[in-house]
Amino acid sequence: MQPNLFEITEDSMTDPIINDCINPTCPFSGEPVEAGSLMQYRGHTVGFCNPDCRDKFAANPDGYKDAKALFDERIDDLET
Ligand SMILES: [Zn+2]
C-alpha cells in the first residue's frame, strides 16, 4: 500500500483568507486591509488594517456603528 502523496484536502473553512474579505479598507482608518487582521462577521469575512482594529470591533460590534454600517451595507448588497 502506498500513501497518497497527492491527496488534496479542501479545507477552506479554517482561517478567513483575505481573498474572501468583503471590504478593501479598514473601516476605522481607511488603510488597506491586512491578511492577519480578518474575522468572521454575519457569516462573511471582514478585514481591518491591523489586529487592534479587529479586536476592538470583535469585542463590541455595536459600539462602532460606522464600521458596522459599512459591513452591513456590503453584506446586504452581497445577499440580495
Ligand atoms: Zn484599522
Q: pLDDT digits over 35-73, tens only?
A: 999 999 999 999 999 999 999 999 999 999 999 999 999
For residue 22, the CA-to-ligand 1 centroid distance in Å is 15
pTM: 0.79
Domain boundaries, the chain: 10-79
Q: What is the pLDDT of residue 16?
A: 84
- Name residues with Cβ closer than 5 Å to ligand 1, which is an ion: 26, 28-29, 48-49, 53
Q: What is the pLDDT of residue 15?
A: 77
CA–CA gap between residue 62 and residue 6 (Å, rounded): 46
For residue 34, the CA-to-ligand 1 centroid distance in Å is 9
Q: What is the pLDDT of residue 52?
A: 98
Comparing C-alpha atoms, which of 19, 8, 21 is closest to residue 54? 21
**pLDDT more than 90, % of the chain:** 79
